[in-house]
């Protein structure tokens, strides 16, 4: 590391140097290692089919042919990274957004139910946590159910939610969003119960000596004390809300959304399509978590949090 930065600082200061000292270089190294391993597996996993094809055609082939052809199959077992990137490029930049073939269109469908589910889930989680912290009966009775709810596989409960809600006349965005809600309220409840209980005893005693009402104690002490916990929980919640939205599209016969795209891809052996949908989902999750992280930084800075204490 020091040898690298020395060599770099001698010749080219600026970007390379910053990259070497900061986090960029380690990230780049890990990324290139992953891509390399991926390419190796692409050749290894796609070779049997390719060799079979050569033999059926009766053609001569070299190792170089094999490597080249395994990375250019139409339905590979494992598509090469550049194939996936090309597919993503074609279906995002290269296609009209309104088209059913646009990955952006499908991502938006999934995103809309993710966001709706996340907002409902966060609100529900916060409300439940308020109840649990302020009410002994709720503390004893609700928490076990909250935990039990997460032990049921979402794949089992998703179709039932869709069917039941359909029966009472609800269809479209909301049922899918509720599956996201079902997953995302959980980390918020757990985090916020901990957050609302994070004030020290002397801070609570202090509010009592002021004869502060329950509402005042909540807004002036418990809520601000819980805010760091809220952001941390929301980061987890938004990521699993996305998982919920995708999973919600799988067993319900949805025709649009990243989940539907995954399902269609697997029906027709379109592995490139599956992988590009997966990457889109990952990028979406990263952006969502990133946005919450920015919000967290702004709020924490306004609350005077010391540098380095952020989670």
Q: Which residues of the chain form contacts with other proteins (CB under 8 A)?
A: 200, 202-203, 205-212, 216, 220-221, 224-225, 227, 303-306
Quick one: 11 or 211, whose CB is closer to other proteins? 211
Cβ neighbours around 104 below 10 Å, total = 17
The answer to whether the CB of 18 falls within 8 A of the CB of 4 is no
**How many angstroms separate the Cα of 49 from the Cα of each of 42, 45, 53, 78, 273?**
12, 8, 6, 12, 19
- What does each C-alpha distance from 140 to 126, 149, 183, 201, 222 come to in angstroms? 17, 16, 22, 21, 20
Give the shortest CB-267-to-other proteins separation in angstroms: 53
- What angle do the packed helices 173-196 and 136-149 form, to 10 degrees? 130
Kindly state the smallest distance separating residue 216's Cβ from other proteins, in Å. 5
Alpha carbon distance 181, 114 (integer Å): 8
Q: Which is nearer to other proteins, 99 or 213 (CB)?
A: 213
With 0-12 / 13-18 / 19 or more C-beta atoms within 10 angstroms meaning exposed / middle / buried, residue 301 is exposed
Shortest distance (Å) from residue 218 CB to other proteins: 12
Q: Locate tokens 């600026």: which residue?
A: 14
Task: State the nearest-atom distance from the C-beta of 235 to other proteins, in Å.
Answer: 20
**CB of 230 vs other proteins, minimal distance in Å:** 13
When the beta carbons of 222 and 235 are compared against other proteins, the nearer one is 222
Question: 142 or 227: whose CB is closer to other proteins?
Answer: 227
Nearest CA among 26, 28, 33, 190 for reference residue 122: 190
> Least distance in Å: CB of 30 to other proteins?
35
Residue 188 to residue 232: CA distance in whole angstroms: 9
Q: How far is the CB of 85 from other proteins (least distance, A)?
A: 44
| Secondary-structure breakdown of the chain: helix, strand, coil percentages, each rounded to the nearest 5 | 80, 0, 20
**Nearest to other proteins of 20, 207 (CB atom):** 207
Nearer to other proteins, 162 or 221 (CB): 221
C-beta closer to other proteins: residue 159 or 224: 224
Q: How far is the CB of 227 from other proteins (least distance, A)?
A: 8
112 vs 305, beta carbon nearer other proteins: 305
| Residue 16 phi, psi dihedral angles, 5° rounding | -60, -40
């Amino acid at each position: 590391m020091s040898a690298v930065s020395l060599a770099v600082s001698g010749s080219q200061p600026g970007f390379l140097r910053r990259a070497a000292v900061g986090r960029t270089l380690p990230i780049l190294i890990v990324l290139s290692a992953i891509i390399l391993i991926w390419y190796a597996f692409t050749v290894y996993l796609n070779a049997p089919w390719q060799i079979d094809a050569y033999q059926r055609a009766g053609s001569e082939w070299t190792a170089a042919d094999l490597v080249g052809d395994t990375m250019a199959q139409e339905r590979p077992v494992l598509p090469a990274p550049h194939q996936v990137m090309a597919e993503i490029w074609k279906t995002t930049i290269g296609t009209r957004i309104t088209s059913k073939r646009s990955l952006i269109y499908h991502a938006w469908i999934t995103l809309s139910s993710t966001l709706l589910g996340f907002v409902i889930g966060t609100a529900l989680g916060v409300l439940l946590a308020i109840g649990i912290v302020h009410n002994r009966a709720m503390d004893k009775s609700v928490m076990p159910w909250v935990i039990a709810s997460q032990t049921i596989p979402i794949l089992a409960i998703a179709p039932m939610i869709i069917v039941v809600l359909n029966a009472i006349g609800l269809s479209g965005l909301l049922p899918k969003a509720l599956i996201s809600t079902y997953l995302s309220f959980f980390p918020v409840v757990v985090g916020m119960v901990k957050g609302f209980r994070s004030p020290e005893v002397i801070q609570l005693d202090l509010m009592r000596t002021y004869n502060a009402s329950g509402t005042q104690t909540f807004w002036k002490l418990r809520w601000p004390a819980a805010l760091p916990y809220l952001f941390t929980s929301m980061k987890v919640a938004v990521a699993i809300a996305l998982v919920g939205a995708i999973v919600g599209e799988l067993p319900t016969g949805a025709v649009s959304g990243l989940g539907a795209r995954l399902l269609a891809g697997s029906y027709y052996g379109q592995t490139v399509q599956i992988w590009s949908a997966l990457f889109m989902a990952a990028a979406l999750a990263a952006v969502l978590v990133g946005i919450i992280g920015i919000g967290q930084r702004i709020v924490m800075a306004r609350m005077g949090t010391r540098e380095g204490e952020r989670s």
